[in-house]
Amino acid sequence: MKNQRKPNRAKKTSRSKPKQQLPAGWDDKRVKDVLDYYENQTEEQQLAEHEAAHHAKGQTVMVVPTDLVPAIRTLIAGRREP
């Protein structure tokens, strides 16, 4: 078979990615600070943080099916502290 040329398609215009919407009270600096905090933790610091979470009063750590996470997040977001 002879070399067949692919049809000439118009070039896709590059669209800039829409800026991600941040939660109220958050800005790029706060996001960067949180990322820096977690990316620079030692394993010992990570373990201590996880242990503290397991022992926090009024909090529960549990494993849930992944498909339930969006519903759980919605419930938590709509909850008002007593």
- Please say if the pLDDT value at position 34 is more than 90: yes
pLDDT given for residue 16 in this prediction: 74
Percent of the chain past pLDDT 90, that is, above it, reads 50
Q: What gap in Å lies between CA 54 and CA 48, rounded to an integer?
A: 10
Query: pLDDT (tens digit, 9 = 90+) per residue, 56-81?
Result: 998 888 899 999 999 999 999 888 76
Region for 58 from its dihedrals, namely left if φ exceeds 0, alpha if ψ lies in -120 to 50, beta otherwise: left
Q: What mean pLDDT do residues 19-33 have?
A: 90
Query: What's the start-to-end Cα distance of the chain, in Å?
Result: 75
CA nearest to 68, candidates 79, 76, 60, 80 = 76
